[in-house]
Amino acid sequence: MKFGIIKERKNPPDRRVVFSPNEIKTIQEQFPAVTFKVEPSDIRVFTDEQYRELGIEVTEDLSDCEVLFGVKEVPVEALIPNKKYFFFSHTIKKQSYNRKLLQAVLEKHIDLYDHETIVDAANKRLIGFGRYAGIVGAYNAIRAFGIKFELFKMPKAEALNGKDALVQQLKRQIIPPIKIVVTGTGKVGSGVKEILTAMKIKEVSVDHFLTKTFTQPVFTQIDVLDYNKRIDGKKLDTLDFYKNPHDYESDFERFSKAADIYISGHFHANAAPEILSQKMLQASDCKIKIVADVSCDVNGPIACTLRASTIAEPLYGYLPIENKEVDVFHPAAIVVMAVDNLPCELPKDASEGFGEMFTKHVVPAFFNTDADEILARAQMTQDGKLTERFQYLQDYVDGK
């Protein structure tokens, strides 16, 4: 079987890759029937020469590869018909800006497997860059706090050589006794917690976070039932929330009155309630000064995320009373960090971690007749049509 690593063509440039040179060698040792080709790239975090040094072919011609692996969306004109592709298509939430991409995938009879759709039998995601998004998001949140209040200056994460360097920078800073609230307990939330814990910031319970005063910085990590409540006041379980999100409303205001920094690491379904509203942000007792929206759903559950920011310009100010963007140093501004490609700031670490997960959870499926149905669940398109699991996208494809 021939696998191909495609060049990333989306702008802004993304230096990540699904498999590092060392990971390819690991795969070939485990599955000798696999051969790899790598499309040349002058932006990839691993150079063409690093692949060649391990005997991996680097070539412009991937036409004989059966499966092609990328990270971000592939431009329509670069799609090769009748291939199997793995990449983040950003279509499963019916994102309007990528409708033409999914239409082209179907027209070209491409079998598309979105990295986000690779799940186990319990529908839990098996691979992703979430941990690294959380790691960089937490770093950027503290960096933003230092900038806003002119307490300290730290370099951008992209200028540092990996997670350990980020942690060393953070440990050098003197952090006042602030409170940080983190939404989400999945891979992103775990990445955030990893950094805050490495900084020796103390984790406290929700009750203590909301009611006590501390002489040191603290954080609390909350899940959906901590920041949502049933409209009828009933106390039910998480399953009920996921099944009936329309029966819930945000209960986040109690955190906006206590937290100085909010770091989002949640997954937010389209039908779920708004989390942090403009009304909450306008309240005279709102304490939030920094919002690090790692999830970055523009015009979504966090009212101050007016747009995605960039690695080059990661911060902007938000003026709640007018619901508009202002300068970061405006005295009434809440600072927003909403970079939508945070793992790009740690391209080497993120690529290595992603490849290890992919090798563990997905690659064996190509050689064991997909015994655990990993590929079957992930496959979005086949023979020019949506698979049964993704039929809900048909009206999106049709432009309705």
Which residues does the annotation mark as catalytic? 72, 90
Strands 248-250, 228-230: pairing is: antiparallel
* DSSP result, 53-112: TTT-EE-S--TT-SEEE-SSPPPGGGPPTT-EEEE----TT--GGGHHHHHHHHHTT-EE
Neighbouring CB atoms inside 10 A of 328's CB total: 16
Nearest-10 crossing angle of helices 163-171, 187-198: 40
Helix (H/G/I), strand (E/B), else coil: 231: coil
Strands 67-69, 2-5: pairing is: parallel
Side-chain-side CA neighbours of residue 58 (13 Å)? 16
Residues 148 and 289 sit within 8 Å (Cβ to Cβ): yes
* Cα separations in angstroms, 47 against 10, 174, 348, 358, 360: 18, 38, 11, 21, 24
Residues 60 and 4 sit within 8 Å (Cβ to Cβ): no
User: Whose CA is closest to 51, among 71, 21, 80?
Assistant: 21
**Count of all residues that appear for the chain in the document:** 400
Positions at the binding site for NAD(+): 223, 294
User: Whose CA is closest to 210, among 235, 175, 171, 181?
Assistant: 181
Cα gap 378→86, rounded to integer Å: 10
Residue 79 region by backbone torsions, left for phi larger than 0, else alpha for psi between -120 and 50, else beta: beta
Helix (H/G/I), strand (E/B), else coil: 353: helix
